[in-house]
A = this chain, B = another copy of it.
Amino acid sequence: MGGDHGLEVTIPATLSFLDSHPRATALLVGRRDEILAALGARGDHPRLTVVHAEQVIGMDEAPAQALRNKRDSSMRVAIRLVKDGAADACISAGNTGALMAISRFVLKTLDGIDRPAIASPLPNEKGGITTMLDLGANVDSTPEHLLQFAILGSALVAALQEIERPSVGLLNIGEEAIKGNDVVKRAADLLRASPLNFYGNVEGNDIYKGTTDVVVCDGFVGNVALKASEGVAHLIAVFIKEEFTRGPLAKLAAAMAMPVLKRFKRRVDPARLNGAALLGLRGIVIKSHGGAGVQAFEAALQRGYDAADHRLLERTIAAMEPFREQLQGGVEPMTES
């Protein structure tokens, strides 16, 4: 039900995904009548089930409010399906804060993980993917949190990209007198002593250089870096457009260059890499961009499918094993009221 476009996007994306994945089955959670109307003739698809949920969480609704007052929201019902083992993954384009709060409350975190983290795939110059976390779920992260993010991100990349020992970089600042704050320095010590494939410190530009497979940072820093990156990409797009429409000669050049510009646009299109993973939970939850179109939402479905298919949870739990003792102390238990 969620996202900026609701069923207009989620339904066609799901149908297209089912068509190209013969082993996949979909549980569409939300208002049955609306979903059936949107499905139309495809409502009788054999690998598709509609699960009714009366409530919908608004995109701007306060997460705590949504958690307390909407026990029958589509989001909550979908996450409960994961908890109950009826679904292998939950994919949502809805309210990020609510998705995080409800996931954490219903699914709980894995042993040794204090709080879930948000991990996103970003394009890099090597033509590959850099996975960055946390992107805003945690502020004021401790060194232990950063270690947890590194373990989670590593397991995600190992599962989704079939890289045995993904390299992990710790986001830091380089040039200045004081290289990083205390938290980062202590996190580097923890990472260096761990069995992870720790590369060392990386700087902001290394994310897009593709220096490491995983980049670990505090959620405040990661969120700002991600949004600044989006801002620059948008600024450049605006400038390109302005230059290519400045007078008839530029417009002619634009017409000539159109196939190239289109290929370029496709390449930097965030749709291709849509689908952030909420990691550290006892279940797979993928967050699609709220503004995702059909193709982008399908990419998010693909990520959820791959994570389940490549046994992300089992891999994560195995990856946590060497840290069991080290991290056990930090668990904040939560109980469903």
List A residues at the B interface (Cβ < 8 Å).
63-64, 96-97, 100-101, 123-125, 136-137, 139-140, 171, 173, 175-178, 180-182, 184, 203-209, 217, 219-221, 223-236, 238-240, 243-244, 246, 249-250, 252-254, 256-257, 259-261, 263-264, 267-268
Contacts and interface: CB of A to CB of B under 8 A. Distances in A.
Given A64-B177, A229-B231, A253-B256, 10 more contacts: A63-B177, A101-B177, A125-B238, A137-B176, A137-B177, A224-B225, A243-B264, A249-B259, A250-B260, A253-B257
How many copies the complex holds: the figure is: 2
A143 to B, nearest CB: 14
8 closest A-B pairs by beta carbon, nearest first, are: A204-B227, A205-B231, A208-B231, A204-B228, A97-B177, A173-B223, A139-B181, A225-B228
A204 B231 contact: yes
The secondary structure that dominates the A interface is: helix
A243 B223 contact: no
Given A63-B177, A175-B96, A175-B136, A223 B204 contact: yes
A176 B208 contact: no
17 contacts: A96-B175, A139-B178, A173-B227, A176-B223, A205-B234, A208-B234, A221-B224, A228-B228, A232-B232, A233-B236, A236-B236, A243-B261, A243-B264, A246-B260, A253-B253, A254-B260, A256-B257
B231 A228 contact: no
Contact of A260 (B182, B231, B243): B243
A173 B220 contact: yes
B229 A232 contact: yes
Nearest to A223: B173
A180 to B, nearest CB: 7
B234 A173 contact: no
B175 A204 contact: no
